[in-house]
Amino acid sequence: MAFFKDMISVFRKRELLFIESLRESEDVYTFSFKKDEDLTWTAGQYGLFSIIHKKIKSPTKPFSIASAPTENVVKITTRIGDNPSDFKQAMLELKPGMKIKMGGPVGSFHLDQEHPSLLIAAGIGITPFRAILKQMTAGRDREGKPVRVLYLDSQKSHLFRDELDALANSAAVQISYLESREALEQEINRFVNQYQNQGKYFIAGPKSMVESITNLLQNKKIAKQNIKKDAFYGL
């Protein structure tokens, strides 16, 4: 049933008005769009965004929605290097009042209210978790279920850090900022030892990282159905 709902949502495209862009760090940008009144999503889902102000090859790309519905804005955050793709170059060219097209939202990458949750992010993979914490502070989710966030960033930039700290305090979430894979695995082991398959495990980041952490969890006898993944492909 969820698959068919996603398919219907993908084909129901809408145009979103561009508001502004913000440079979060040297090579990371957040783009904000006006939220239509009838548009909603569950924090952690993603949309399919299409460039419409110019013709480019592969004009549609998936992005996690970095904002919660209660913020009344659609945000996407992405890394843009010195030699951006045609898509990302077109994103940089957006001016207030221009539009982008969105299909979705889709995906099941959102919290299960009945279980303790471990949220594992690497680099830009923090974006869906920002939305999840925002939604939690709005009072829509969870009471008393432990939530741990492990945020690995070897470059030590840790996007949204001040905002995440404030959100974690409001939602009684424990968040750890990590700089090495060894430290990440130590924290994962602590959660697994405590909750095992009673917990739910969410992994977001580069595809190679998501796959390796998935293998790590499965080697610790965590069932596949308790692991949710959101892999970023460097679009």
Is the residue at 210 inside a domain? yes
Is the residue at 121 inside a domain? yes
- Between 110 and 7, the more confident residue is 110
Distance CA 49, CA 57 (A): 14
pLDDT level of residue 172 (50, 70, 90 thresholds): confident
Give the pLDDT of residue 113: 76
191 φψ region: left (φ > 0), alpha (ψ -120 to 50), beta (else) = alpha
Looking at residues 218-225, what average pLDDT do you find?
A: 96
The residue range of the domain holding 57 is 2-106
SS3 call for 59: coil
Give the pLDDT of residue 215: 96
Q: Which one-letter amino acid corresponds to residue 212? A: S
What total of structural domains would you count in the chain?
A: 2
Sign of the dihedral defined by the CA atoms of residues 199, 204, 207, 213, in that order: negative
Looking at residues 177-203, what average pLDDT do you find?
A: 95
Is the residue at 112 inside a domain? no
**Residue 199: CB partners within 8 Å, gap ≥ 6?**
115, 116, 117, 118, 191, 192, 226
Looking at residues 146-172, what average pLDDT do you find?
A: 88
Looking at the structure, do residues 31 and 87 belong to the same domain, yes or no?
yes
Looking at residues 148-171, what average pLDDT do you find?
A: 89
Is the residue at 111 inside a domain? no
Looking at the structure, do residues 98 and 132 belong to the same domain, yes or no?
no
Instruction: For 196-205, write each residue's pLDDT tens digit.
Output: 999 999 999 9
Looking at the structure, do residues 20 and 48 belong to the same domain, yes or no?
yes
Spell out a b/e string for 190-217, using b for 16 or more CB atoms within 10 Å of the CB, else e: ebbeebeeebbbbbbbbeebbeebbebb
Looking at the structure, do residues 197 and 94 belong to the same domain, yes or no?
no
Looking at the structure, do residues 14 and 83 belong to the same domain, yes or no?
yes
Looking at the structure, do residues 79 and 133 belong to the same domain, yes or no?
no
Looking at the structure, do residues 37 and 87 belong to the same domain, yes or no?
yes
Q: Which one-letter amino acid corresponds to residue 163? A: E
Instruction: For 108-120, write each residue's pLDDT tens digit.
Output: 888 877 899 999 9
pLDDT level of residue 140 (50, 70, 90 thresholds): very low
pLDDT level of residue 139 (50, 70, 90 thresholds): low
Instruction: For 42-61, write each residue's pLDDT tens digit.
Output: 999 999 999 999 999 999 99
Is the residue at 53 inside a domain? yes
pLDDT level of residue 8 (50, 70, 90 thresholds): very low
pTM of the model: 0.88
Looking at the structure, do residues 29 and 128 belong to the same domain, yes or no?
no
Distance CA 107, CA 75 (A): 17
Is the residue at 147 inside a domain? yes
